[in-house]
Chain A
Amino acid sequence: MTRSILTRKSVIIAGVALFALLAVLLSVALYPSDHVVQPLAYNHKVHTENAGLGCADCHANAEQMASATIPSLQVCQNCHSGEPISQSPVERELLKYIADKKEIPWKAIYKVPDHVYFSHRRHVVGGKLDCSVCHGNVGEFTKPVSFEEIRVTMENCMSCHQQQNVSNDCLACHR
């Protein structure tokens, strides 16, 4: 004689398991870039304090274009052009990349989807926002950026727009 597996207890357990599964999936979907590991252990603090660099010195396009770029190898070569200028083992890794003429495969943390128009220039030059407002105090980071300070979600963008009294019209960003 077979018994139905659909007892009260089993339904509750299945329900809880399904809920847990969904929760895990959702969290993975909503928090994708949790603690990404970068190929080079880049230290922002050393560069801002010791070298006196500002954000726009390396991330040049933030003031000219829609996307601020992760600097290419050429930008590093402006200072690191052959001889090591510090004791850091990380710098030696960098010099190897330079010698091999290989771009460092940085993993982009902040990704704006293709259906959104986001212009750095408008926010930095037009809105006069400091980089730290969205990206955090990156200048103080000793480890490379590995997660989003403010997650790139529609809610986050719209709430700031609302506070700053800037358009929340769909067509201002959607394309």
Chain B
Amino acid sequence: MEIKRRDFLKLFGSISGALVLNGCGLDDVIELPDTLLEKATGGPGIESWSNTICSLCPGGCGIRVRLIDGIPVYVKGNRVYPVNQGGMCPLGLNALHALYNPDRVKTPLKRSGDPGSGKWEPVTWDDALKTISEKLATLRKEGKSHQVGFLGYDERGLMREHISRFMRAFGSPNYYQFSLTQNDTVAYQLLQGRSQVPAYDFLNAKLILSFGANFLEDGYSPVYYTKLYSRHRERQTRYIQIESRMSLTAANADWWIPVRPGTYGALALGFAYVLIREELYDVEFVKAHTLGFEDWIDQSGEKHVGFKTFVLGNYYPERASEIAGVPSATILELARELGNTRPALVLGDGGAIANTNGTFALMAVHSLNALLGNFEREGGIFFIDEAPFQKHSAVPEDATSRKGNRQTPIADSEDVAFPLTNFSIDSFAKNVLSARPYPLSVLFLYRGNSLFQTLNHHDFANALRKVDLIVSFDSVINETSEYAHLILPEHTFLEKWDEVPNVPSVGFTHVGIQHPVIQPLYDTRHTGDVLIEIARRVGGTVGAAFPFDTYEEEIKYRMKGVYSSGEGAVATEGVRQLWLEYLQQRGWQIGRYASFEEFWDRLLEHGGWWNPIRKKKSWREVFRTPSGKFEFYSQKLKTSIDLLVDEVGGRRSPQNVELVLNRLNISARGDTVFLPHHEQVPYEQDMPLHLITFRVLPNRDGQASNLPMMQEMFGYATRRYWSSWVEIHPETAATYGIADGAWVWVESSIGRVKVQAILSQAIMPNVVAIPFGLGHTSYGRYAKGHGVNPHWILRNLYDLISGKPALEATKARVSLAS
């Protein structure tokens, strides 16, 4: 055949091109600083291990990090740490992706464009701290120290005290925390006088009735509760879950009972009816340790309706069934099972409390525990003491800080609202916007992502714009910190020191010690250390408030108290049940250390300290109420509302009481207000379907969205990787002509989102559920642009008493997207 010279050359060219082989396997893109890169690729390969604590969720699990040549390459559970005992959740296993995340802020940044523009300029630490401390010093000089706010996340223990100390010494009452688990404890405060999350003895209970508490997937410590749950066969524990949508916990329960959103309280009272009627409750306990069960007369001679009369008169099973959508036969059966099983535990969380009537609903749920006498006994409810830390000295205050600390906190409602909130983000945003009672000049943001999680995002975003100087301490820029003027990047948890004490709801006193497993990769600093430096730059008593040079020294100082107490022990192999029984029999003292240094070394080696022995509490300690008893009729609530009534004119006039109750949007009247009762949620009449949201384990509250593997695993149960969906019952879907997988609009009175529909038998008819956590507009390349944020279309409503965002108080309609 004829091949011309030209053709031959062309052919040769293409062949030689193909000889350039594609690089196989190893990808060159490694996001490590150059100094570490050399070690990573050329070192001798020496292996070492280090124990620390994970911070990707509030669960506080102990992790064991494997290092090769000092570089972390793998994370697994720490077998000796008592909270998780070697178990991990999928989120914690991504610890390294958080450390090596390419979107980490590597140096302090200053914003040079509009919020959300993504225009940041690097600045030096010195410049940034100078700007901040000069502004703060000026405010102090002008007597405006209270115009500084600090918005934290879910920190507790030393970090919370450290920040409180800073704000107190500086002179501002405005330290707040916002996360989706804040304001959870108001019901316990009202009934028992303890604003603390209780711990539940799952191992010894025979029946666990959960109203919306998704403890295997969400909640405070999923790994801890998974471990307890895993013993259910040998302990013969029965799990019953009451929830509108079948969560992971409901999927693993023995019985799932679907309930209408916003009606958990009514259902609980329906059970209470049966328990009281059929005398299945603990009569002794109720007589001796509760107030307000029978009708009673108070000190001023006023008659009050008792819980018994109230429930028997209002919550007979048919009524409870009508409200909650649970068949009355089921209510009877379940209440009888509850009443005839001992020990039987009742807990409430999740959907039960995420509504306008959440506090009242949780009061109703928790009252069941009082009826069953579940306090200070095996298989019951306990409140865990804090570890015996050495206390810091008193915070020094000068005239300026004293004046500042006396000011009204800026998040206090101007109007009558949320009488018992730790922090109302609604009031905060409104007040900052209107500069009442005073403007906010400086705001510190510590972790968290309030703008993404809140319901009032328009108001909140506008409020942020009003602040002169916003400083964010975080390792990745998210929606909220896009509004910051300065980013002071902090270490990720594998690079820093912290004290991780008492994970809420874990059944023993413990302290985890988080310490760096690697030197900080970038030019980041520990927030605790930064606050110390800012305080010292501002000077005076503010600087004097921090006698320690570093946060690490503070941890050591506090732990000296634990060491001196002689209580508990460093986490060791002795976490198994038999060992505990041995200790309980022989008294308690397995921790013997020659010196504090030895104690400290062992602490760092193993990861933490714990004390599994619970000190028996007196009833006065269990019930820190005015009466020293469990108060069905909450005197605390009465006092708080009385104070509000006094503010508007005094209790003499019943119109004032009416005014306050109306402003609080409470529809109950008289004694009912202070008893656990079902407060109706003001749902929209013109919308047909309930819209609820839920959180999944790979993402929790949206903070894990910058981790690529967790984005991939987001919908593993429904095979919707990287994306959102809406779950609809097939009957409901049929009425709208929606097939499985169809794209639909979910529209509320606020807005609408477009998602794919999943038809599911595991959700109540006329309820639709969208997972929370996706829909980021910032927060890195893996978070941005995936899924939708259902909070964007929820109504701006909050729990009437606690100000907690009411996530299930919205109704919606669904239609096919064309």
Would A and B touch once assembled, by the CB under 8 A criterion? Answer: yes
Q: Which of B4, B8, B44, B46 has the most CB of A within 10 A?
A: B44
Q: Is the CB of B1 within 8 A of A69?
A: no
Q: Is the CB of A65 within 8 A of B46?
A: yes
Q: Is the CB of A5 within 8 A of B44?
A: no
Q: Is the CB of A67 within 8 A of B4?
A: no
| A27 neighbours in B (Cβ, 8 Å) | none
For window 392-429 of B, CB contacts with A under 8 Å fall at none
Bound state CA distance, A70 and B43, in angstroms?
A: 9
| B1 neighbours in A (Cβ, 8 Å) | 4, 6
Bound state CA distance, A66 and B26, in angstroms?
A: 21
- From the candidates B8, B25, B45, name the one contacting A66 in the complex (CB within 8 A): B45
| B26 neighbours in A (Cβ, 8 Å) | 114
Q: How far is the CB of A6 from chain B (nearest CB, A)?
A: 5
Q: How far is the CB of A64 from chain B (nearest CB, A)?
A: 9
Q: Is the CB of A5 within 8 A of B45?
A: no
Q: How far is the CB of A113 from chain B (nearest CB, A)?
A: 9
A167 at the interface (CB under 8 A from B): no
Q: Is the CB of A69 within 8 A of B44?
A: yes
A33 at the interface (CB under 8 A from B): no
Bound state CA distance, A2 and B3, in angstroms?
A: 10
Q: How far is the CB of A1 from chain B (nearest CB, A)?
A: 12
Nearest neighbor of A106 in chain B, beta-carbon distance: B42
B2 at the interface (CB under 8 A from A): yes
A61-97 toward B: CB 8 Å interface, digit per residue (1/0)?
A: 1000111011010000000000000000000000000
Q: How far is the CB of B595 from chain A (nearest CB, A)?
A: 31
Bound state CA distance, A114 and B73, in angstroms?
A: 15
Q: Is the CB of A2 within 8 A of B45?
A: no
- From the candidates B4, B25, B46, name the one contacting A5 in the complex (CB within 8 A): B4
Nearest neighbor of A108 in chain B, beta-carbon distance: B42
Q: Is the CB of A67 within 8 A of B44?
A: yes
Nearest neighbor of B45 in chain A, beta-carbon distance: A67
- From the candidates B8, B25, B44, B45, name the one contacting A72 in the complex (CB within 8 A): B44
| B45 neighbours in A (Cβ, 8 Å) | 65-67, 69
Q: How far is the CB of A132 from chain B (nearest CB, A)?
A: 22
| B8 neighbours in A (Cβ, 8 Å) | 5
- From the candidates A2, A4, A6, A61, name the one contacting B44 in the complex (CB within 8 A): A61
Q: How far is the CB of B9 from chain A (nearest CB, A)?
A: 10
Bound state CA distance, A161 and B15, in angstroms?
A: 40
Q: How far is the CB of A174 from chain B (nearest CB, A)?
A: 14
B719 at the interface (CB under 8 A from A): no
Bound state CA distance, A4 and B5, in angstroms?
A: 7
A39-81 toward B: CB 8 Å interface, digit per residue (1/0)?
A: 0000000000000000000000100011101101000000000
Q: Is the CB of B46 within 8 A of A6?
A: no
Q: How far is the CB of B346 from chain A (nearest CB, A)?
A: 51
Q: How far is the CB of B22 from chain A (nearest CB, A)?
A: 16
Total A residues in contact with B, Cβ cutoff 8 Å: 12
| B5 neighbours in A (Cβ, 8 Å) | 5
Bound state CA distance, A136 and B288, in angstroms?
A: 88
B1-32 toward A: CB 8 Å interface, digit per residue (1/0)?
A: 11111001000000000000000011000000
Nearest neighbor of B43 in chain A, beta-carbon distance: A69
For window 23-61 of B, CB contacts with A under 8 Å fall at 25-26, 44-46
Q: Which of A4, A66, A70 has the most CB of B within 10 A?
A: A4
Q: Is the CB of B46 within 8 A of A4?
A: no
Nearest neighbor of A2 in chain B, beta-carbon distance: B4
Bound state CA distance, A67 and B2, in angstroms?
A: 59
Q: Which of A6, A61, A70, A114 has the most CB of B within 10 A?
A: A6
A1-20 toward B: CB 8 Å interface, digit per residue (1/0)?
A: 01011100000000000000
Q: How far is the CB of B790 from chain A (nearest CB, A)?
A: 44
Q: How far is the CB of B450 from chain A (nearest CB, A)?
A: 44
Bound state CA distance, A65 and B48, in angstroms?
A: 12
| A4 neighbours in B (Cβ, 8 Å) | 1-4
Nearest neighbor of B44 in chain A, beta-carbon distance: A69
| A70 neighbours in B (Cβ, 8 Å) | 44
| B46 neighbours in A (Cβ, 8 Å) | 61, 65
Q: How far is the CB of A18 from chain B (nearest CB, A)?
A: 10
| A6 neighbours in B (Cβ, 8 Å) | 1-3
Q: How far is the CB of A120 from chain B (nearest CB, A)?
A: 11
Bound state CA distance, A125 and B43, in angstroms?
A: 23
| A61 neighbours in B (Cβ, 8 Å) | 44, 46
Q: How far is the CB of B628 from chain A (nearest CB, A)?
A: 64
For window 108-123 of A, CB contacts with B under 8 Å fall at 114
Nearest neighbor of A72 in chain B, beta-carbon distance: B44
Q: How far is the CB of A9 from chain B (nearest CB, A)?
A: 15
Nearest neighbor of B5 in chain A, beta-carbon distance: A5
Bound state CA distance, A69 and B25, in angstroms?
A: 25
Bound state CA distance, A6 and B11, in angstroms?
A: 13
| A66 neighbours in B (Cβ, 8 Å) | 45
Q: How far is the CB of B95 from chain A (nearest CB, A)?
A: 23
Nearest neighbor of B1 in chain A, beta-carbon distance: A6
Bound state CA distance, A2 and B5, in angstroms?
A: 9
| A5 neighbours in B (Cβ, 8 Å) | 3-5, 8
Bound state CA distance, A125 and B717, in angstroms?
A: 49
| B2 neighbours in A (Cβ, 8 Å) | 4, 6
Nearest neighbor of A67 in chain B, beta-carbon distance: B45
Bound state CA distance, A70 and B44, in angstroms?
A: 8
| A2 neighbours in B (Cβ, 8 Å) | 4
Q: How far is the CB of B446 from chain A (nearest CB, A)?
A: 39
| A65 neighbours in B (Cβ, 8 Å) | 45-46
| A114 neighbours in B (Cβ, 8 Å) | 25-26
Bound state CA distance, A69 and B44, in angstroms?
A: 6
Bound state CA distance, A68 and B3, in angstroms?
A: 57
Bound state CA distance, A165 and B1, in angstroms?
A: 57
Bound state CA distance, A8 and B45, in angstroms?
A: 58
Q: How far is the CB of B122 from chain A (nearest CB, A)?
A: 30
Nearest neighbor of A64 in chain B, beta-carbon distance: B46
Nearest neighbor of A68 in chain B, beta-carbon distance: B44
Bound state CA distance, A4 and B6, in angstroms?
A: 11
Q: How far is the CB of A124 from chain B (nearest CB, A)?
A: 16
Q: How far is the CB of B20 from chain A (nearest CB, A)?
A: 12
| A72 neighbours in B (Cβ, 8 Å) | 44
Bound state CA distance, A69 and B5, in angstroms?
A: 56
Nearest neighbor of B7 in chain A, beta-carbon distance: A5
Bound state CA distance, A165 and B81, in angstroms?
A: 45
Q: How far is the CB of B127 from chain A (nearest CB, A)?
A: 32
Q: How far is the CB of A36 from chain B (nearest CB, A)?
A: 15
Bound state CA distance, A85 and B4, in angstroms?
A: 72
Q: How far is the CB of A34 from chain B (nearest CB, A)?
A: 21
24 residue pairs A–B, Cβ–Cβ below 8 Å: A2-B4, A4-B1, A4-B2, A4-B3, A4-B4, A5-B3, A5-B4, A5-B5, A5-B8, A6-B1, A6-B2, A6-B3, A61-B44, A61-B46, A65-B45, A65-B46, A66-B45, A67-B44, A67-B45, A69-B45, A70-B44, A72-B44, A114-B25, A114-B26
Per CB-CB distance, the 10 closest pairs between chain A and chain B, nearest first, are A69-B44, A4-B2, A6-B3, A67-B45, A5-B5, A4-B3, A5-B8, A2-B4, A67-B44, A61-B44
Residue numbers of A with Cβ under 8 A of B are: 2, 4-6, 61, 65-67, 69-70, 72, 114
Seed contacts A4-B2, A6-B2, A6-B3; 14 additional CB < 8 Å A-B pairs: A4-B3, A4-B4, A5-B3, A5-B5, A5-B8, A6-B1, A61-B44, A61-B46, A65-B45, A65-B46, A67-B44, A70-B44, A114-B25, A114-B26
